């Protein structure tokens, strides 16, 4: 079996895709308050910056920056996933397996180390266009679970960024 090698850069900025085990689930948007709370709790314990984020029904994309000298993004994801899973188990009839896992998340996540400012811009754009790409909305501004709205408030992007698209025009759903 091939072992996946992660790139640990102290204080690095990373793009992540984190996915639910059940790709037909809508748990992330149905329980977005719990997901946000899980992020806040994890950030209080072990700080990290969120450069951009989009939450879709069955997966999310996050660009995260770690503090100087810190490389432990797996520990942060483990904590976020655990907080969300345990919180969800108080809302839904879920049973843990013999190891105490609820099986809500895919075990792995995909990560990419951001190399430079251009790479960061490309990935922020990818995060923000994702709800349009998956056909959930025709305009980026219509998806409520995105840091796009913070970028607009901060004057970094115009409200009509990326214009209008036919739902599903970018491929996947």
Q: Which residues of the chain have pLDDT under 50?
A: 168, 171-173
Query: In sequence order, what are the residues at sequence separation of 6 or more whose Cβ sits closer than 8 angstroms to the Cβ of residue 79?
Result: 41, 42, 45, 46
Task: Output the pLDDT for position 91.
Answer: 80
Alpha helices per DSSP H over the chain: 27-30, 32-45, 73-89, 117-133, 148-153
Q: What pLDDT does residue 96 have? A: 62
- Looking at residue 98, its pLDDT comes to 62
Residue 95 lies in a domain: yes
In a domain, 133, yes or no: no
Domains in the chain, number = 1
**Residue 1: inside a domain:** no
Q: What confidence score (pLDDT) does residue 172 get? A: 47
Whether 52 and 128 have beta carbons less than 8 Å apart is answered as: yes
Residue 66 in 3-state DSSP? coil
Q: What is the pLDDT of residue 81?
A: 96
User: What is the structure's pLDDT at 89?
Assistant: 84
Q: Which residues are catalytic?
A: 145
Q: In CATH, what number is assigned to the domain containing residue 105?
A: 3.30.70.1290
Q: Is 3 exposed, middle or buried (0-12, 13-18, 19+ CB in 10 A)?
A: exposed
Query: The tokens of 76 are what?
Result: 């942060």
Q: What is the pLDDT of residue 101?
A: 64
Q: Is residue 134 part of a domain?
A: no
Cα separation of 60 and 42, whole Å?
A: 16
Residue 123 included in any domain: no
Instruction: Read off the pLDDT of residues 130-163 as tens digits, 9 standing for 90 and up.
Output: 999 999 999 999 999 999 999 999 999 999 999 8
Segments forming the whole domain that contains residue 51: 13-115
Q: 62 in a domain, yes or no?
A: yes
Residue 148 lies in a domain: no
Closest CA to 84 of 65, 68, 60: 60
Residue 141 lies in a domain: no
């Amino acid at each position: 079996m091939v072992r996946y090698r992660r790139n640990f850069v102290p204080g690095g900025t990373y793009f992540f895709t984190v996915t639910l085990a059940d790709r037909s689930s809508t748990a992330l948007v149905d329980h977005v308050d719990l997901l946000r709370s899980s992020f806040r709790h994890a950030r209080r314990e072990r700080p990290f910056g969120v450069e951009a984020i989009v939450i879709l029904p069955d997966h999310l994309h996050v660009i995260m920056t770690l503090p100087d000298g810190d490389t432990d993004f797996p520990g942060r994801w483990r904590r976020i996933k655990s907080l969300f899973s345990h919180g969800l188990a108080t809302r839904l009839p879920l049973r843990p397996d013999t190891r105490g896992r609820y099986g809500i998340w895919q075990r792995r996540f995909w990560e990419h180390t951001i190399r430079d400012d251009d790479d960061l811009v490309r990935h922020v754009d990818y995060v923000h266009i994702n709800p349009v790409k998956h056909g959930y909305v025709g305009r980026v501004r219509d998806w409520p679970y995105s840091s796009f709205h913070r970028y607009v408030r901060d004057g970094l992007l115009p409200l009509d960024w990326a214009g209008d698209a036919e739902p599903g025009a970018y491929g996947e759903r």
